[in-house]
Amino acid sequence: MARIISMRKAINEAIRQCMEEDPTVILLGEDVAGGEGSPGADDAWGGDMGITKGLQPQFGKDRVMDTPISESAIMGCAVGAAASGLRPIAELMFVDFMGVCFDQIMNQAAKFRYMFGGKAQTPVVIRTQIGAGYNAAAQHSQCLYPMFAHIPGIKCVIPSSAYDTKGLLIQAVRDNDPVIFFEHKVMYDEVSDDVPKEAYAIPFGEANIVRDGGDITIVAMARMVHKAKEAAEVLAREGIECQIVDPRTISPLDEDTIIECVEETGRLIVVDEAYPRCNMGTDIAALAAREAFGALKAPIQVVSPPHVPVPFAPELEEAFIPSPEKIADAVRKTVSYGA
Amino acid sequence: MSEERILAITVPKWGMAMEEGTVTGWHLEEGAKVAEGDDVLDVESTKIANVIEAKCDGVLRRQVAEVGTTLPVGALLGVIAPSDVEDAAIDAFVSGFVVEAVALEGEGGPAVETIDVDGRDIRYVVHGEGGEPIVLVHGFGGDMNAWMFTQDALSADRAVYSMDLPGHGGSAKDVGDGDLSVLTSAVIAVMAETGAAHVHLVGHSLGGAAALQVALDHPDKVASLTLIAPAGLGQEINGGYITGFVTAQRRKDMKPLAEQLFADTSIVTRQMVEDLLRNKRINGVDAALAAIAGAQFEGDRQLLDLASRADELDVPVQIIWGRDDRIIPVGHSGNLEGARVHIIDDAGHMPMMEKAGEVNDLILAFV
Amino acid sequence: MASGAGMQLSRDKLLEAYRTMRTIRDFEERVHDEFEAGNLPGFVHLYAGEEASAVGVCLHLDDQDRICSTHRGHGHCIAKGCDVEGMWKELWGSSEGLCAGKGGSMHIADLSKGMMGANAIVGGGPPLAVGAAMAAKTLKTGKVAVTFTGDGGSNQGTTFESMNFASVFKLPVLFVFENNGYAETTGSGWSVACGDIVNRAPAFGMPGVQVDGFDFFAVHDAVGEAVERARAGEGPTLIEVKFGRFYGHHEGDNQSYRGPDEVEILRRDHDCLKLFRNRVTEAGLLSDSDLDAIDQETADLMDRCVEAAKNAPRPTPDQLTTDVYISY
């Protein structure tokens, strides 16, 4: 009965089902269908990675819209439409492009509800690609999600499985607050798992315990969950049992689960592909130090890339991305602390 | 020559998703005497932990799998044989043991079928074949996996059908107004699918009430009735559990609820809680559960009274109840006149999971 | 869109123009092959078919004039004098690449040649070129800045802001819009609401020219005037270069959005190299053998460069953390 599908397909299916159940859901972005105003075929790409292919033929050009390359206008349009009765899903091709449109997210969407005294609702979803691994270098490979977690008023989703991707994306569309949905580009085809064909929603702020283990808690997000799983397999053979916690949403953050887990194991490592300064690693480490200090048997470790932009050369990029080996080393160091 | 007297203990298959099991503990030392039904070792899948009982008398001659090892379904865990079987024969048996290709999903495993009942898709699965079939009906909020320890054990000589009620598992989520008749129509339809004139009905909790209703309405189609902690036999019910189950969205809400189902709460694994939540998240499930709960229960009261109709019942009935049931009081077990009653110690609301061996024996003996 | 002034170029300049265009073409065709063979990491966007623009512009510039480029930047790099072998090594991710293997195709730069970088952010270049022009004006160097932007980038807010800004300050900057018809897959006839990008020039208070981008001389002439105006302190100019690309948006693009035979027709009838050759040989300015010699020269150059890139040293792990700051 298992139905194994890729993250790529899970996203497409989630959007399709949301658009089927709610006529106010629209999709807009650069080449989300592809071919607008061109002599050849419509729906030429379905987004630069082909994720939204097939949606325009089903829902038409009034609901699935290619746009000019105008990120500020795309984001602002989606935000304004959301505040005016639609549930737009806007695609920002790569999170790196947030640089040209951040105002519409940071100062507009994030602020409406609060600064208008609770009278506005902005149910917009912004889908965007994150992550290194395709040798796409400094301006197409960043994670950047900590920058968004920093801002009150927006919710941040970072799924690590196809199951979570579908359920969290549907929740994002149904959610009445602005949501940024971060998709790790390498995971589109790298990750497949069991996904129900029906629509379902996973509540935000509910961490997933990916693996049980009593010796150490590893908190990881997106692709790092899988790197942590690889490390945990190796460590299990050495007799070290790792518990892996995936927050799934970093805003809201399921602090309770993280604290409970750290209290159970007494040890914590956070693995974060984002730059090391002010990332989720530092944030979660601070949380544990604050709320679970008494339970800690060893210093908290954060496994992150070095504080450098994402390099182009394959061997440098590989050295940049936290590896199972680095995670395992950090675990060994933590578990043997004081011994 | 002594091969037949050597019995392999293997990793069981509890539910269709189970592919491997981990040994968590041995109850007996190597060389210990063992009687049929004795607890031999504990195994856990990602979803659930359970004890494996001896299927014959003898001596535990080998512990093949160490504690902590994870093995595929069908792999050899240990060997039971009489003490006079020579060690060399045991060793030969162990070294020559071949793991039977376990039928994985969609590869010759139990057939999953879907039928249309009044416009609703109803899913069921069949284990075994022939004989006078058994139809298993799960309770409120469950699905066919409630019978993961049951369906195989009963299917040696007959076909065993386990189904998903409307609003549950892989069946349609529409349950109309939640009336019991929506559930009973599905049960009757699956009974018809068996092709047999008579079937043995086994129902748990609300599924027990449905089975009882079917037996009242169609005594000609029911060969026997086994009711496990059924609803419908008394007024009281744990309304907090019902309401909580309908509204729970998160692990921390669901876990304590799931624990109320068992006498031994350690049975509740993280994966079990996750599976319950995964099901509840699907579009329409919570609405279906709310509709059914609304039609059947009001606070701590059951609205359905079938006990008063005991005199109309023209089918052999047995009632099985866990002594520590925290959902429906075990006291209701005496409310159906004419039924044989078995109270199981150290079991809660799910005796067919918690004390699978005992319950399976009772069902097999009864049918 | 007839052109004439460019035809007055010296023999050396004409040879240089052809050599540079041919180098770009050979470079891109070879990148296509090497990428298809799986030898190159990352994303590449090819400039083949558009050579007349980069060369028509950059022939007016020296190393102190600055340009800002796009993700489709190989042509601009070569036209601005970047070392071709260094570019190849960069594409390969070598530590001897123009950017030490850290930038790759979308970020090749050589500030010593006035090349301020290919850019993976659409609309990232125009504000930077405005800044380069501001520097030139402030320092009174007499230098100019050029930003190459696609039709896609023409629709970015950063671009609009930059044009207004440049006009307000009368900065020596050229906004060269390379309109190849598609922003990725999206037709520029649709995405540019006023039809032609050049129509926007008056709104920003600057002159605008539209040129046939397959015609080196047309580009060269138009840019010559604009550069002269800029150097004379008369402010910015918008130049729309209309043409088409021979390849997809990036390598791997299925190009299903394009018309039937579109690329074949471009290659047959609108190849800037063929057109250039016809013009100069018909006018008797250069001979076929002059040009054939260059063809051979650039083909050999590519072979040498690719061989060198394949064998170039790889970056070492310690290089991951260098060059983030000058001091920290």
CA angle A61-A65-A67, nearest 5°? 140
Give the start-end residues of each E strand in B196-337: 199-204, 222-228, 297-298, 301-302, 317-322
Amino acid in the structure at residue A321? I
Chains C and B touch (3+ CB pairs under 8 A): no
Q: Report the alpha-carbon distance of residue A28 to residue A30 in Å, rounded.
A: 7
Q: Which residue of B has its CA nearest to A199?
A: B283
**pLDDT reading at C2 higher than 50:** no
- Told to judge if A140 belongs to the known catalytic residues of this protein, a careful annotator would answer yes
pLDDT at B242 over 90: yes
* Residue A4 C-alpha, separation from nearest chain C C-alpha, in angstroms: 27
Q: What residues contact B366, with CB distance under 8 A and at least 6 apart?
A: B200, B224, B226, B316, B318, B340
Give the list of residues 6+ apart from residue C6 with CB closer than 8 angstroms, or none: C56, C216, C217, C218, C220, C221, C224
| Full domain range(s) for residue C59 | 5-321
The pLDDT assigned to B105 comes to 44
**Domain-embedded: residue C328:** no
What pLDDT band is residue C6 in, cutting at 50, 70 and 90?
low
Q: Nearest-CA distance from C70 to chain A in Å? A: 12
Q: Strand pairing partners for B194?
A: none
C chain contacts of residue A306, beta-carbon cutoff 8 Å: 320-321
Q: How many CA atoms lie within 13 A of B128 on its CB side?
A: 19
Q: How far is CA A292 from CA A104, A205, A218, A260, in A?
A: 37, 19, 15, 8
Q: Which residue of chain C has the CA closest to A309?
A: C324
CB contact under 8 Å between B270 and A209, yes or no, is yes
Chain A closest CA to C137's CA: distance in Å? 26
C chain contacts of residue A138, beta-carbon cutoff 8 Å = 102-103, 107, 120
For chain A, positions 256-295, list CB contacts with chain B under 8 A. 256-257
Say how many CA atoms lie within 13 Å of B163 toward its Cβ: 35
In whole angstroms, give the CA distance from residue C99 to residue C82.
Answer: 11
Q: What 8-state DSSP symbol labels residue C80?
A: T
pLDDT for the residue numbered B51 = 84
Domain A4-194, CATH class in plain words: alpha beta
CA distance C205 to C171: 12
**Which tens digit of pLDDT belongs to each residue from B4-29?**
788 889 888 877 677 788 888 999 89
CA distance B1 to A337: 57
**Residue in A198, A212, A256 closest to B270 by CB:** A212
Over range B200-213, report the average pLDDT: 97
Give buried/exposed letters for A197-233 (b at 16+ CB in 10 A, else e).
eebbbbbbbbbbbbbebebbbbbbbbbbbbbbbebbe
Q: What are phi and psi of B123, to 5 degrees?
A: -100, 140
Report the CATH number of the B3-95 domain: 2.40.50.100
Question: Residue C189 contacts by C-beta under 8 Å, 6 or more apart in sequence?
Answer: A37, C181, C195
Decide: B167 and B180 in contact? Cβ < 8 Å.
no
Q: What is the pLDDT, as a whole number, of residue B100? A: 65
* Chain C: touching chains (3 or more CB pairs < 8 Å): A
Q: Does residue C5 surpass a pLDDT of 70?
A: no
Contact at 8 Å (CB) between A251 and A280? no
Evaluate whether A100 touches C123 at the Cβ level (below 8 Å).
Answer: yes
* Residue range(s) in chain A whose domain bears CATH number 3.40.50.970: 4-194
Note whether A312 contacts C94, CB cutoff 8 Å.
Answer: no
Is some CB atom of chain B closer than 8 A to the CB atom of A196?
A: yes
Query: Which amino acid does the sequence have at A259?
Result: I
Is the model's pLDDT at B109 over the cut of 70?
Answer: no
- Distance to chain B for A277, nearest Cα, Å: 32
Q: Do chains A and C touch (3 or more CB pairs under 8 A)?
A: yes
Long-range interactions of A280-285: CB distance < 8 A, separation 24+ = A280/A145, A280/A146, A280/A149, A280/A219, A280/A221, A280/A247, A280/A250, A283/A146, A283/A149, A283/A250, A283/A253, A284/A219, A284/A247, A284/A253, A284/A258
- A269 — phi, psi (to 5°)? -130, 135
* Mean pLDDT in order along chain A per 10 residues (339 residues): 91 98 97 96 95 98 97 96 96 97 96 94 98 96 98 98 98 98 97 96 97 97 98 97 98 98 98 98 98 98 98 97 98 95
One-character DSSP codes across A61-127: TTTEEE--S-HHHHHHHHHHHHTTT-EEEEEEEEGGGGGGTHHIIIIIITTHHHHTTT------EEE
The percent of chain C in helix, strand and coil, each rounded to the nearest 5, is 50, 10, 40
d(CA C272, CA C254): 24
Whether the CB of A318 is below 8 Å from some CB of chain C: the reply is no
Our count of domains for chain C comes to 1
The token pair at C27 is 């470079």
> Does the pLDDT value for residue B223 go beyond 60?
yes
For residue C33, report the phi and psi dihedrals to the nearest 5 degrees: -65, -45
Residue of C149, C186, C200 for testing the chain A interface, max A β-carbons within 10 Å: C186
Q: Classify C230 as helix, strand or coil.
A: helix
* pLDDT value of residue A8: 97
Give the mean model confidence (pLDDT) for residues B142-165: 93
Residues of A whose CB is below 8 A from C102: 137-138, 309, 311-313, 316
Residues of chain A with CATH 3.40.50.920: 208-335
* Touching B: A residues 158-187, CB under 8 Å: 163, 167
| Distance to chain A for C121, nearest Cα, Å | 7
Q: Which residue has the tokens 């579908």?
A: A166
* C-beta separation of B289 from B140 below 8 A: yes
What integer is the mean pLDDT of B79-84?
Answer: 90
Domain A208-335: which CATH number of 3.40.640.10, 3.30.479.30, 3.40.50.920, 3.40.50.2300 = 3.40.50.920
Mean pLDDT, rounded, for C204-225: 98
Task: Look up the CATH number of the domain holding residue C162.
Answer: 3.40.50.970
On whether any CB of chain A is under 8 Å from the CB of C102, the answer is yes
Structural element, H or E, at residue C201: none
Cα gap B349→B362, rounded to integer Å = 16
Look at residue B350 and give its three-state secondary structure.
coil
Query: So what's the pLDDT on residue B92?
Result: 86
For chain B, which residues make up each domain, given as ranges?
A: 3-95, 111-366
CA C64 to chain centre: 17
Residues 38-67 of A with CB under 8 A from C: 38-42, 44-45, 48, 66-67
SS (H, E, C) B182-228: HHHHHHHHHHHHCCCCCEEEEEECHHHHHHHHHHHHCHHHEEEEEEE
Count other C-beta atoms under 10 Å from residue A255's C-beta.
16
Mean pLDDT, chain B, integer: 91
Nearest to C123 among A100, A307, A314 (CB): A100
* Confidence (pLDDT) at B99: 74
Mean pLDDT over residues B51-56, rounded?
85
The answer to the question of residue C73 being in a domain is yes
Read off the pLDDT band of B93 (50, 70, 90): confident
C55: pLDDT strictly greater than 50: yes
Chain A partners within 8 Å of B281 (Cβ)? 167, 200-202
Name the token pair of B31.
């060389």
Q: Tell how strand B160-163 and strand B134-137 pair up.
A: parallel
pLDDT at A339: 81
What CA–CA distance (Å, rounded) separates C174 from C197?
14
| CB contact at 8 A, A121 and A177 | yes
Q: Is residue C326 part of a domain?
A: no
ipTM: 0.91
CATH architecture of B111-366: 3-Layer(aba) Sandwich (3.40)
Which spans in chain C are helix H?
Answer: 11-36, 51-58, 74-79, 84-92, 125-139, 157-168, 188-191, 216-231, 262-269, 272-282, 288-310
Using DSSP, state whether A230 is helix, strand or coil: helix
Q: Among C256, C93, C270, B366, which residue's Cα sits nearest to residue A38?
A: C256
Output helix, strand, coil percentages for chain A, rounded to the nearest 5. Answer: 40, 20, 40
How far apart (Å, rounded) are the C-alpha atoms in residues C23 and C162? 32
Q: Which two tokens stand for residue B348?
A: 């809660």
CB atoms near residue B214 (< 10 Å): 26
- C221 and C53 Cβ atoms separated by less than 8 Å: no
Q: How far apart are CA B179 and CA B167, in angstroms?
A: 12
* Helix H or strand E segment including A178: none
CA dist B62 and B8 (Å) reads 10
Q: How far apart are CA C72 and CA C80, in angstroms?
A: 14
